[in-house]
């Protein structure tokens, strides 16, 4: 006696097989990086808001053998900048600032060199203000508390590196200054505002400002490679990165964030379009935006003591990938982009062993 399968059942079976094949291929791609000690963290791939693949690799805490999972919390580093840009645009919507405003409007006694520097320049890394994280004494001072107002003092009297608006040069100073402006204008802390205006409304319960002294469930410890072994990452006082890199999150919460950007829950569509419009060198407001194979690819990476991160969005395909690592390498960005290409059905070579 033969069994007859309905067309719907056959299509479902084919779909399940394809999904399983894709998951196997995605896992194999990441696994090579893990085996080479180039990645240790969590990844997620989703389409139309539905998770296609999500997995943790290696240890969230190597000393206690606590494994990474999709709910492990990682420091985001510069992925923080897109949340800062969103708050700035929300303030503009409220009439409390304009991105064309000169920074000096909100900074008492601003140096004369900042006269032409606007909020737009800070958002797009075109201000010419040098990045304090490249200063010779940064490594020596990164263990000392430095709230935004104090950090601003470190670079406010430095000469500009170029005429505002004429060039792109990545500057953590610019985003710390944005955080300082946010706090000056609102009278509230940056931490309070991103929680109240973004994380709370979106239900991002596993995202926030990282305070090492607080007990935080499922927080990953940060590591660096020391030859063939792991070493604890160098300490960084988390008052320093502020609006440039202070947040933590999970791959699952970042998917919530991705999905919200297809709606008007936070900002109207026209404002979101501005946020994703590049100014110079493919940089928009807290996002890198490029065109690849006739598709817009939106993303941003982060690197901070003990962590490397990347998220990629391809709106045309409603595709999202995230790679969050508690290991100081630059491979999270490569992984997130390779996973996106694999999910699109493209051929991607395995990394050389």
Structural domain includes residue 4: no
Q: What is the pLDDT of residue 8?
A: 54
Q: Examine the residue annotation and report whether 224 is marked as an active-site residue of this protein.
A: no
Query: Residue 245: is its pLDDT beyond 60?
Result: yes
Q: pTM surpassing 0.85?
A: yes
Does residue 19 form part of some domain? no
How far apart CA 101 and CA 112 sit, in angstroms, is: 15
| Total domain count, the chain | 1
Mean pLDDT estimate for the chain: 94
Residue 87 maps to a domain: yes
Mean pLDDT throughout 218-228? 92
For residue 309, give the 3-state DSSP assignment.
strand
Residue 204 resides in a domain = yes
Q: Give the residue carrying structure tokens 């710390």.
A: 176
Q: Percent of the chain having pLDDT more than 70?
A: 95
Q: Is the pLDDT of residue 38 over 80?
A: yes
pLDDT of residue 3: 54
Catalytic residue, chosen from 42, 54, 78, 173, is: 78
pLDDT at 353: 67
- Alpha-carbon distance values, 146 to 123, 149, 269 (Å): 22, 8, 36
- Domain interval for residue 105: 40-343
Q: Indicate whether 2 belongs to any domain.
A: no
| Helical (H) or strand (E) element with 304 | strand 295-304
Candidate from 150-164, 199-213, 226-240 with smallest mean pLDDT: 226-240
Percent of the chain whose predicted confidence (pLDDT) is above 90: 91
Buried b (16+ CB within 10 A) or exposed e, 6-32: eeeeeeeeeeeeeeeebeeebeebbee
Under the banding of pLDDT at 50, 70 and 90, the label for residue 227 is confident
Phi first, then psi, for residue 164 (nearest 5°) are: -55, 130
pLDDT for position 19 = 72
Q: Name residue, tokens 């139309």.
A: 48
Query: Which element (helix H / strand E) includes 302?
Result: strand 295-304
CATH code assigned at 280: 3.40.710.10
Q: Residue 206, SS3?
A: coil
351 in a domain, yes or no? no
Both structure tokens of 219: 């927080």
Tell whether the model's pLDDT for residue 13 goes beyond 60: no
- The answer to whether residue 7 scores a pLDDT higher than 60 is no
Q: How far apart are CA 236 and CA 72, in angstroms?
A: 20
- The answer to whether residue 205 sits within a structural domain is yes
Question: What pLDDT is recorded for position 12?
Answer: 45
Whether the CB-CB separation of 252 and 54 falls below 8 Å is answered with yes
What pLDDT is recorded for position 264? 98
């Amino acid at each position: 006696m033969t069994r007859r399968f309905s067309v719907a059942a056959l299509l479902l079976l084919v779909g399940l097989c394809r999904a399983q094949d894709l998951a196997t291929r995605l896992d194999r791609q990441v696994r090579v990086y893990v085996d080479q000690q180039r990645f240790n963290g969590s990844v997620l791939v989703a389409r139309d808001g539905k998770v296609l693949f999500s997995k943790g690799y290696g240890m969230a805490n190597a000393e206690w053998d606590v494994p990474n999972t999709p709910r492990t919390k990682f420091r985001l580093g510069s992925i923080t900048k897109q949340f800062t840009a969103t708050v700035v645009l929300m303030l503009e919507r409220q009439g409390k600032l304009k991105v064309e405003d000169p920074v000096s409007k909100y900074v008492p006694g601003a140096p004369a060199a900042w006269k032409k520097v606007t909020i737009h320049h800070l958002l797009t890394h075109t201000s010419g203000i040098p990045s304090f994280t490249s200063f010779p004494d940064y490594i020596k001072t990164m263990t000392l508390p430095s709230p935004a107002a104090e950090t601003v003092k470190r670079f406010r009297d430095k000469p500009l590196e170029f005429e505002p608006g004429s060039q792109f040069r990545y500057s953590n100073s610019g985003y710390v200054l944005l955080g300082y402006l946010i706090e000056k204008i609102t009278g509230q802390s940056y931490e309070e505002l991103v929680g109240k205006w973004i994380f709370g409304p979106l239900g991002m319960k596993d995202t926030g400002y990282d305070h090492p002294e607080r007990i935080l469930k499922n927080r990953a410890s940060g590591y660096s490679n020391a030859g063939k072994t792991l070493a604890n990452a160098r300490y960084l006082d988390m008052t320093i990165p502020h609006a440039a890199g202070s947040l933590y999150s999970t791959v699952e919460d970042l998917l919530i964030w991705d999905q919200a950007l297809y709606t008007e829950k936070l900002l109207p569509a026209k404002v979101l379009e501005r946020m994703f419009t590049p100014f110079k060198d493919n940089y928009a407001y807290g996002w890198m935006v490029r065109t690849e194979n006739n598709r817009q690819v939106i993303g941003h990476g982060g690197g901070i003591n003990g962590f490397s991160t990347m998220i990629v969005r391809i709106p045309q395909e409603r595709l999202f990938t995230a790679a969050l690592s508690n290991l100081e390498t630059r491979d999270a960005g490569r992984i997130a982009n390779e996973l996106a290409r694999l999910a699109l059905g493209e051929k991607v070579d395995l990394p050389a062993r």
